Amino acid sequence: MASSTDRPPAVELRDITKRFGDVVANDGVDFTLEQGEVHALLGENGSGKTTLMSVLYGLYDKDAGTISIDGDVREFDSPRDAMDASVGMIHQHFQLVEPMTVLQNVVLGHEPTENGLVDEAAAREDVAAISDRYDFDVAQHLDTPIRDLDLGVRQRVEIVKSLYRGAEILVLDEPTAVLTPQEVEGLFDVMEELTAAGRSLVFITHKLGEAIEAADRITVLRDGEAVGTVSADDTSEQELARMMVGREVLFDREPRETTPGDPVFEAEKLRVRGDRGLERVRNVGFTVREGEILGIAGVQGNGQTELVEALTGLRSVESGTVRFHDEDVTTASRRRRIEAGIAYVPEDRHTQGLVLDYDLVRNALLGNQTIEPFAERSFIDWSAVRDHAESIVEEYDVQPPNPNAEAASLSGGNQQKFIVGREIEHDPDVMVASHPTRGVDIGSIEFIHDRLLDLRDAGLAIVFVSSKLAEIQKLSDRIAVMYEGEFVDTVDPDDVTEEELGLLMAGHDREADVDSTAVTADDGGGGDETPADETEPPASEDAPDGGAQS
């Protein structure tokens, strides 16, 4: 760590609060970036990392708090102000003009001019100098259009662009998300070069290993609050995982009154590829029974999204089978699965779960286009759809209680309650709920939890994906932990400690003294959880794969 004591911190954020409606995205967050360090900002999707950095970069107005750059308090109304204060941000989606060359992209908007004309020679010289200084390997691509370059090179072009504009402080927003492992190593080299030259970097990520490898210090955000800051040398993946997913007192698990029935939803040896063709789900299998909740825990990005999409018919599988009752639905279309009774509360309510500029009536039809009584042959019975929307709004306490309201005008919690209501009212046999409480206010979280438990008691088979440990443990009858596309283990929530879950989520097997065979879910006992102390050594031996099938 290269912190210098003679200069004030590069960035000091004090007590930053940012609200979106009734959701608090940042709640009194403190964050300090020392001169010349790489500081990782670690947290789940929706934990507030990007919001915090967008406040720093002038994209959002903060509701409270102060920003100091090099010891001076600053107010940023726009990214331009931030850039003037030498803060640069590299977004996850590159802001490059694809048909234009590297040189044109770097100088765009800041072209050196001579007599009103772009001085290309000067531009070329400046950009090449930056590239050479940091050993970026960009100089030989100056005249190549962006679209012909690999993502790794494009990212370096973005960095050069920021440096060209005089950035001393660089925020990298999930820079590794789109890169191959080799490109990630290349990026880490670049980051080292930058800090060696005195630049200070914020590295946003949700990957534990990368944070430890690339950063000097790590600050963990959870639910909009800074959980703590640790030195990368003194921490472990387990500790970070635990900080990310929470260690609050666990909810009391209410005793089960029903026992699970017949198997309803099964997956066997499922392999699924992600968007970039990489295998994201590896040999996953499970069985969910009537009246049972299977929780899928794991740090975000370990294949949960791809698994859920394969189960719900939104993504085709590479191999393996998905069975619903006794029917093989592996290749059944999404619509076929909806009609069969597989409901789905999607991970992303804004792009998938709702059409934002439709009112709630038209959103009530989403997914119901072929379901009676809304569809009569090819026609839609809009009065039936309206009645349906009204009953969802009433029964699921959607505010404002107005079915003519545009979906975009509702708060996140109310949008989510509407989706949950719509999916439950399908009268499904299976419910797949993916992060149903993400970015949702506390009251709505409780409401959604209660509805899911009601469904379980009514005999549904539920697959519940979340990265929040507390709710996973509260709701699940069994917890499957997913790491790098595999179910590393399936555990009984009454029978597992936070430490063990933290280990599993970081990709380690549990300790040998814990039974790692599959656990059946007929145990109705209440929780007798004791907070475990922190004496757990990391499991080093390669124990055989935990059985994930019940």
Partner 1 sequence: MSDSDSGRARGVLDRAAAGMLEASVLQRLAIATASTVAALAVGLLVVAAAGYDPAVFLRNVFEGAFGDSNAIARTLKFTSIFVLTGVSVAIAFRAGVFNIGVQGQFVVGGFATVISILWFAPMLPEGAVGGVALMVLGTLAAIVAGGAYAAFPGALKAYAGANEIITTIMLNFIAVGVVGFLVEGPFRGEGQRAPNTDRIPEYVELPQLVYDVPDFSILGLVVALVVVAVVAVVMARTGFGYDMVTSGHQEAAATYSGVDAKRTIVKTMTFSGMVAGVAGAVFAIMMQGYYSDPGGVATYGFDAIAVSLLAANNPLGVVPAGLLFGGLDSAGTHMRINSDVPVQLIDGIVGLVVLFVAAPELFRMAAERTGLGGEKR
Positions that interact with partner 1 (CB under 8 A): 78, 80, 109-110, 314, 333-335, 338, 344, 346, 348, 350-358, 362, 365-370, 375, 378-380, 382, 408
Q: From the CB of 349, what's the least distance to partner 1, in Å?
A: 10
Contact at 8 Å (CB) between 522 and 260?
Answer: yes
Q: From the CB of 155, what's the least distance to partner 1, in Å?
A: 21
Q: From the CB of 196, what's the least distance to partner 1, in Å?
A: 30
Q: From the CB of 142, what's the least distance to partner 1, in Å?
A: 23
Exposure pattern of 401-416 as b/e (b: 16+ CB <10 Å)?
eebebbbeebbbbbbb
Q: From the CB of 185, what's the least distance to partner 1, in Å?
A: 32
Q: From the CB of 30, what's the least distance to partner 1, in Å?
A: 27
Nearest to 148 by CA among 178, 108, 140, 183: 140
Query: Distance between CA atoms of 509 and 395, rounded to whole angstroms?
Result: 43
| 327 or 450: CB nearest partner 1 | 327
| 403 or 507: CB nearest partner 1 | 403
Which ranges constitute the DSSP H helices of 40-180?
49-56, 79-84, 102-107, 120-133, 151-164
| 269 or 335: CB nearest partner 1 | 335
The secondary structure element, H or E, covering residue 384 is helix 382-395
Task: Enumerate the β-bridge partners of residue 288.
Answer: 265
Phi then psi for 151, rounded to 5 degrees? -60, -35
Query: Tokens in use for 416?
Result: 């989510």
Q: From the CB of 363, what's the least distance to partner 1, in Å?
A: 9
Sequence-separated (6 or more) residues with CB below 8 Å from residue 281: 270, 271, 272, 303, 306, 307, 310, 485
| 365 or 469: CB nearest partner 1 | 365
| 80 or 133: CB nearest partner 1 | 80
Contact at 8 Å (CB) between 31 and 203?
Answer: no
Cα 411 from chain centroid? Answer: 20
